[in-house]
Amino acid sequence: MNYFPDEVLEHVFDFVASHRDRNAVSLVCRLWHRVERLSRQRVFVGNCYALSPEILIARFPGLKSLTLKGKPHFADFNLVPHDWGGYVQPWIEALSNSRIGLEELRLKRMVVSDESLELLSRSLANFKSLVLVSCEGFTTVGLAAIAANCRFLRELDLQENEIDDHSGHWLSCFPDSCTSLISLNFACLKGEINLAALERLVARSPNLRSLRLNRAVPLETLQNILMRAPQLVDLGTGSYIHDPDSETYNKLKHTILKCKSIRNLSGFLEVAPRCLPAIYPICLNLTSLNLSYAAGIHGSELVKLIRRCAKLQRLWILDCIGDKGLEVVASTCKELQELRVFPSDVLGVGHAAVTENGLVAISAGCPKLHSLLYFCQQMTNAALIVVAKNCPNFIRFRLCILEPTKPDPVTMQPLDDGFGAIVQSCKHLRRLSLSGLLTDRVFLYIGMYAEQLEMLSVAFAGDSDKGMLYVLNGCKKLRKLEIRDCPYGDKALLTDVGKYETMRSLWMSSCEVTLGGCKTLAKEMPRLNVEIINEHDQMEIGSEEQRVEKMYLYRTLVGPRKDAPEFVWTL
Amino acid sequence: MPPDTTSESPGSDVTSTVFKDTELTLGLPGEARFSGGKTCSKRGFIERSMDLNLGDSSSSSSQTRGKILAGQDFSSESLVSGAGKPSAAKRQEVVGWPPVRSLRKRALEGCKYVKVAVDGAPYLRKVDLEIYNSYQELLRALEQMFMTCFAIRGNYVGEGGRKVMYPMKEMEYVPTYEDKDGDWMLVGDVPWKMFLESCKRIRLMKSSEAVGTLAPRTHPRSCTYEVAADQQLKAR
């Protein structure tokens, strides 16, 4: 190991790309640790409270790309109060005070303020790429700062963020000298957009490959944009409504024929189905299609579209496609790897949108399927057993039966056997979400068979502490466990406290853990932050027996966080 | 095949009692797999989280836009443990369930505008179906929208069997709609809320086109047709 000069080691490490591998490399010996950290450019921080910006900056002086995740996953579903935390400001402050020439920042479930964006834009001269997923706290004012000040901006990707729209003029803030854009996604913006500025921006961005528009961009503008950017690879339409007999629509049909590079298609936030034929010519080349916001496309139009997309690898769709529509997917999309079926009727009373039949059809027709998110009306053990047999390659299997604790409607049994078959058959399973009626048995199976499992989401399941213990004991690679409304209490929590240091985090809400149990855990494991979220002043200090409504614990190098709001107690 | 627990090695974590609990057995549908006690405690969780919402929704059920069925729903099989939950509870909003991001939920909620086409009219109109509570209201609104030109004939007449008829233009229209599957259906067959769910667009079809496919077009005051319609109304 000592014969090679550092440069050679560094060169070898260049070929080690994944975060995990690089982390492993850094543990071999001091020399490797030093060479690795000095040459590391991309860092992934799964929990922003696991370490501090200072630690990060000290260790990786060559940092160019940083990914940060903030709130726990269940924050996406309103289970985490608004001001819980996850602020990016301290990170940007620290980075701006350092010599780090950060070029890329990717944030997920973090609170991003306009000041943060402004500071970022002014202090990081070489900044090139901003990706915000499921973030909140900023407005179009912050976007204007990014547009105006980041001279070499290549990527501005806003995915499913809550953004306050003050005006559409942020787009005009891109200076005329900005010609470096490769990717621009503002689909989640709710307000109006300066259309002329958008068209000019596209016209002066010859490298633009990915463009996702919001609802405010009409079809005429889409037509103009595609004329100027036929090289697009990824397109998200805005409002796709027009009179199919109009000249604009006719022009669009011809323009699209020139867009031979489009491989990803999304949007259709508003849609006139009679205008869909314009996109038929590009369907055959599509590898990714996201119609999960296209509530206006149904039934036969949807099926007609899908029939043309033989090369699809990724499909995100609403459940109004129905089981019959999924059968069409199964017979058409033989290359399908990832399928997400979202509920179109999120408030209930829907009638059978998709059922187990659709999933069985997909599993039979799409052998390459490895990632699934499936919201359905019902599921049977028999179907899951067939799916497990047809698709042993699942990496992600997330099943959400819309009605909590619903059993197999044919046998009235819990779905333990079905999920058991999935974990037994899919040896590479890394992520699993359960639903339906489930007893402790399913967790026994998971503990026994899900050897590669890293993330497990559980809701309304299990009978006793045993369930959680099977999982904690059996799943050696478990990193994230999130549980809601299950009967797990202090015994489950405290039996193997060391386990939590091998994991990123544990979330338990509406379970049976008590304040006393959490306190005991916090005392035994000082390197964990055990946070109690106390929303309604339920807890009296000292009432050890009291059930804790929400608990979130995570390993950390830096002890209790200083930005916790009043209702969060770190024990 | 489900995993076979009988082949467990003795050295595993599974104790014999646990083993017994989890032994796979063939059972008839509906046979409980676990003791009532355990189940009761589990139900407690659901009840706890659902109860938080029961009060709200039952009081606002009339305003809730057709999203919550007051009575039985299709999947009202009781839980294995025995007494099922009241059906209304099943459809209540449990906080954070289904696990869908708010942004996505909001994008799909909201108004339900559908196009209305009337045979012979120079342009289409759009109506927000969600502002109406019944077929009568809808048809009355459509009637007003197109009143200068047309008379709309429907199964659902105004109060006291008042017919909508404009003698000047003796054209009658049959309200039809395109459902989720793309089929053209006669308005009025299904409960209002189901109609709301499945209606994608509306077409007021000229009676002459509808001849032969619907009930005979007799004199407007034909009793059988209207009585049938009234009975349908009353049965609801």
Q: What is the pLDDT of residues A235-261, one digit of tens each?
A: 999 889 888 888 999 999 999 999 999
Residue B201's closest chain A neighbor by CA? Answer: A296
Give the confidence band of B153 by pLDDT, cuts at 50, 70, 90: very low
Higher pLDDT, B167 or B179: B179
Contacts of B18 in chain A (CB under 8 A): 444, 466
One-letter amino acid of A105: L
Contacts of B200 in chain A (CB under 8 A): 298-299
Give the residue among A212, A222, A209 at the shortest CA–CA distance from A189.
A212
Alpha carbons A500 and A498: distance in angstroms, whole number: 5
Q: What is the pLDDT of residues A222-232, one digit of tens each?
A: 999 999 999 99
**Cα dihedral across residues A525, A529, A534, A537: positive or negative:** positive
Q: Residue A385 and residue B1: Cβ atoms within 8 Å?
A: yes
Which residue in this structure is represented by tokens 């769910």?
B197
What DSSP designation does A311 have?
A: T
Give the pLDDT score at B148: 55
ipTM surpasses 0.90: no
Give the confidence band of B111 by pLDDT, cuts at 50, 70, 90: low
Alpha carbons A394 and A366: distance in angstroms, whole number: 12
Alpha carbons A400 and A459: distance in angstroms, whole number: 10
pLDDT at B27 over 50: no
Q: Residue A377 and residue B80: Cβ atoms within 8 Å?
A: no
Give the pLDDT score at A5: 84
Q: Residue A298 and residue B34: Cβ atoms within 8 Å?
A: no
Which residue in this structure is represented by tokens 């961005």?
A205
Give the pLDDT score at B229: 43
Dihedral, CA of residue A239, residue A243, residue A244 and residue A250, to nearest 10: -80
Two tokens, residue B216:
């005979």
Give the pLDDT score at B200: 84
Instruction: Give the burial class of A229: count Cβ atoms within 10 A of its Cβ; 0-12 exposed, 13-18 middle, 19 or more buried.
Output: buried
Q: Residue B104 and residue A134: Cβ atoms within 8 Å?
A: no
- Over range B66-71, report the average pLDDT: 32
Query: Min CA distance, A458 vs chain B (Å)?
Result: 11
Angle B91-B109-A225 (CA atoms, 0-180°, nearest 5)?
Answer: 150
Q: Residue B41 and residue A487: Cβ atoms within 8 Å?
A: yes
Q: A347, A384, A399, A476: which to substitute to probe chain B, counting the most B Cβ within 10 Å?
A: A347
Q: Residue B91 and residue A409: Cβ atoms within 8 Å?
A: no
Q: Residue B18 and residue A445: Cβ atoms within 8 Å?
A: no
Give the confidence band of B54 by pLDDT, cuts at 50, 70, 90: very low
For residue A478, count other CB atoms closer than 10 A to its CB: 23
Q: How many CB pairs under 8 A join A and B?
A: 175
What DSSP designation does B78 have?
A: P
- Over range B94-123, report the average pLDDT: 82
Contacts of A378 in chain B (CB under 8 A): 75
Q: Residue A407 and residue B193: Cβ atoms within 8 Å?
A: no
Name which of A489-498, B45-54, B107-116 the model is least confident about: B45-54
Q: Residue B79 and residue A410: Cβ atoms within 8 Å?
A: no
- Point out the residue among B34, B45, B80 whose CB comes nearest to the CB of A485: B45
Q: Which of A447-461, B36-50, B189-203 has the highest mean pLDDT?
A: A447-461
Contacts of B21 in chain A (CB under 8 A): 440-441
Give the pLDDT score at A150: 95
Q: Residue B180 and residue A298: Cβ atoms within 8 Å?
A: yes
Contacts of B93 in chain A (CB under 8 A): 347-348
Give the pLDDT score at B182: 82
**Which parts of chain A have pLDDT scores under 70?**
1-2, 346-352, 536-542
Which positions ≥6 away from B212 have C-beta within 8 Å? Answer: none
Query: Min CA distance, A403 vs chain B (Å)?
Result: 7
Contacts of B74 in chain A (CB under 8 A): 351-352
Give the pLDDT score at B12: 42
